[in-house]
Copies of this chain bind each other. A is one copy, B any other.
């Protein structure tokens, strides 16, 4: 007996696309209807032959064009393109709805971890107040190596590239841009806020030094590149930044290129999801999972990203402050005076080294980022402070 198979067109034949094609070959109910890459295929013909289009070419413009064309004809679409969904997710979801087509993108965020469908399905009626995640595996791997092997960033990056954890152009991973796109998508789905990718304030790991990781270990802190969103029904903050977490936080134990998302939900409490954030096979399996749900008739719910919000990215938290100082009489008094002026309060302080190479490492009680940044500017003008103060956020208040 012959089975009527669903026809799937694949755009893009990179590492993920090749595995998707391999998985389609052995799938009992799916069949490859066409391939588009730079050397072969005509999109129009593939579209005419397909029940579902899988978009894996990446980038914004052509991907948006192909996906819009497919949805407009009522053809379902699965994509792993986070930049596109972060920028145009809402527009594309509306286009899908208008044409009775499905658009799924589980693999676009936190790889194979089924967080998108959890937010769209089982948790869709819950109020997520806070979301904290490690959503970029490359930077997590690099920070882990910098900590455990005491490497500076360039060495750790080279290692990550050698092992396939980082691409030859790692800019989006290091600057936090990749995490920012993912955060915009997660915030939209979990907090029902129509955020734009430009609403996310982001900072990457480019300026992190191995010595800060070593000092922080003595305070029982681990550094992670965190994507965090908080929404109280009015004020919304969206931030990607390197942050210290206490070693007892499950986020501290997230190793290598694993991804993790923690949600704080009003009626439920804390949920945590973790798993591989990337990799050709996990990503391809997730894409095929999306296709299967479409074939089965599962509908992604209507996005209702219409909650009001006031963007405020001036975070209130504890901070880590690293000052290179000249260790001489009066140094501490000068510094303390500035702290007093800015009403900053020190939770703990340790001095390492002596003479011109003394370092003051301080943990500051919760304050606004703008307040500590203001103090740092003044500190930087002191003669006894010998280089730009380094400020890093702590996730947990101290």
Q: Chain A residues in contact with chain B, CB under 8 A?
A: 23, 106, 112-114, 117-118, 121-126, 248, 250, 253, 265, 267-276, 279, 281-282, 284-286, 288-290, 292-293, 296-299, 301
Q: Are A275 and B281 in contact (CB under 8 A)?
A: no
Known contacts A114-B122, A301-B296; is A268 also within 8 Å of B250 by CB?
no
8 residue pairs of the A-B complex, CB under 8 angstroms, read A114-B123, A117-B118, A125-B288, A248-B253, A250-B253, A268-B281, A269-B275, A271-B273
Main SS at interface, chain A:
mixed
Chain B residue with the shortest CB-CB distance to A271:
B275
Known contacts A106-B122, A281-B267, A292-B124; is A275 also within 8 Å of B276 by CB?
no
Complex Cα distance, B271 from A50, in Å, reads: 32
Chain B residue with the shortest CB-CB distance to A285:
B267
Chain B residue with the shortest CB-CB distance to A273:
B273
**Which of A114, A123, A286 counts the most chain B CB atoms within 10 A?**
A114
Which residues of B have CB within 8 Å of A272? Answer: 272-275
Known contacts A117-B118, A118-B114, A288-B125; is A274 also within 8 Å of B276 by CB?
no
Chain B residue with the shortest CB-CB distance to A248:
B253
Which residues of B have CB within 8 Å of A267? Answer: 23, 281-282, 284-285
Chain B residue with the shortest CB-CB distance to A292:
B125
Known contacts A253-B253, A273-B273; is A293 also within 8 Å of B112 by CB?
no
Q: Are B274 and A269 in contact (CB under 8 A)?
A: no
Min CB distance A149 to B, Å, is 17
Chain B residue with the shortest CB-CB distance to A23:
B267
Known contacts A114-B118, A125-B292, A268-B276; is A299 also within 8 Å of B301 by CB?
no
Chain B residue with the shortest CB-CB distance to A114:
B122
Which residues of B have CB within 8 Å of A289? Answer: 122-126
